[in-house]
Amino acid sequence: MSDGRVSVVSKVAVVTGAGSGVGRAVALELLEAGWSVVLAGRREEALAETARLAGGGPPAPVVPTDVADPERVDALFAAVRERFGRLDLLFNNAGSFGPRGVPLEDLAYEDWRSVVDTNLTGAFLCARAAFRLMRDQDPRGGRIINNGSLSAHVPRPDSVAYTATKHAITGLTKSLSLDGRRYGIACGQIDIGNAATEMTERMSAGVPQASGEVVAEPVMDVADVARTVRHMASLPLEANVQFATVMATAMPYIGRG
């Protein structure tokens, strides 16, 4: 039974949002499994720290990138092409929740636009660039895994921008899956609930529920998310995990709302 490790000839992955949280955990998991991983994100120092945490093996290239900027995204994938000549995996992970606890009627247009630009437009721009590279390389094909969220299914209070973009990511995933068939490109989505990262630290202290109560929620080890992504990435292109939900077992998702 395969443990998800790649062959001696290293496969190449791009991980966006690799400077912290889920992105960092997935990047380190792939590096440990033998992948060559390009670390992309806004904060160069955080990306460099991810590279340092990887320890032995060839250094992971760090490419500071704002995924909402088409020119920066094109430069990222041009760097991948120049260095490796191909791309086997894009983990479309970069994202922003936006301001917390702001009611819809008080949400500024600029804050809405910032979340949409990062979560949705950024994911599209990276997927488009990955498609172009995967389409033209030999052998052709590759895989894209989008980071959705349980918010791709049900919202939390006062999360309209984040929830709307994560619902849209599901549509993006389905479109990429369909349009990628002719190029041998597979696309799946992982929907994550309460992985223990900087983004979810507040869960243990208590977060608003649909009832109006503030309740502490359980979290899970982010390493379990990383292992799931590695499994999805390790499948042959003839097989695909279309949607996977990985969540803290006792969190209020089933029955939420």
Catalytically active residues are 162
Q: Is the alpha carbon torsion for 183, 133, 22, 52 positive or negative?
A: positive
HEC profile for the chain?
Answer: CCCCCCCCCCCEEEEECCCCHHHHHHHHHHHHCCCEEEEEECCHHHHHHHHHHCCCCCCCCEEECCCCCHHHHHHHHHHHHHHHCCCCEEEECCCCCCCCCCCHHHCCHHHHHHHHHHHHHHHHHHHHHHHHHHHHCCCCCEEEEEECCHHHCCCCCCCHHHHHHHHHHHHHHHHHHHHCHHHCEEEEEEEEECECCHHHHHHHCCEECCCCCEECCCCECHHHHHHHHHHHHHCCCCCCCCEEEEECCCCCCCCCC
